[in-house]
Amino acid sequence: MSTFIIGLTGGIGSGKTTVSDFFAELNIDIIDADIAARIVVEPGSKALVAIKAHFGADFIDNNGQLNRAKLRSRIFSEPEDKAWLNSLLHPLIRQEILAQIALAKSSYCLLVAPLLLENNLHKLVNRVLVVNVDESEQISRTAARDPSSVAEIKRIIASQMPSEQRLSFADDVINNQNTSLEDIRQQVLDLDQKYQRLALKPL
């Protein structure tokens, strides 16, 4: 089990996946909060049954899967529904994350979570690593990969912690503003050496 945990976070479109992929190439175990969130609402799960009862059958697609895009649009326009969903899912997601951390075998592991700080998941980690990029870059990157409208992307950004506040929690920062993939890779290599050393020290 990895006892040294790095929490990786950043706003939407900041490049978290690119960074975590480079860590994965170094054989570092990755625990992804988004994947944990999908696991807890798999067909047949108690959470999915509760969501269907609360929001209606039209939030479930023909394959029995949660319609995540429809649900995301709903909760960003209805704060009470968002609060209900969070109270249902957050404990389950946290439990799934802890189960995956317990299975990690690398010298340290990475917990990737867009809402690491907002959902208090940083309390599970030893260090916080923030991928930083400015808002205009977030919007252009997300719009290029995602069918969401610019207005919806801006709402998502507004729902996340402001960049300056996020950076105040950071132990380490990867700058992804106007940088090449090779530069990102080098920043990851440098951090990996640092984390390998820190993981050897007694907690």
Write out the chain's pLDDT in tens, 203 residues: 788 999 999 988 888 999 999 999 999 999 999 999 999 999 989 999 999 999 999 999 988 999 998 998 898 888 899 999 999 999 999 999 999 999 999 999 999 999 999 999 999 999 999 999 888 788 888 877 777 778 878 888 888 888 899 999 999 999 988 889 999 999 999 999 999 999 988 66
The pLDDT of residue 113 is 95
The pLDDT of residue 142 is 83
Residue 10: count other Cβ atoms within 10 Å of its Cβ.
27
| Nearest C-alpha neighbor of 6 from the set 196, 201, 177 | 196
The pLDDT of residue 140 is 83
Name the E strands within 24-171.
29-32, 109-112, 127-132
The pLDDT of residue 202 is 67
Amino acid at the residue 12: I
Residue 19 in tokens: 């960074």
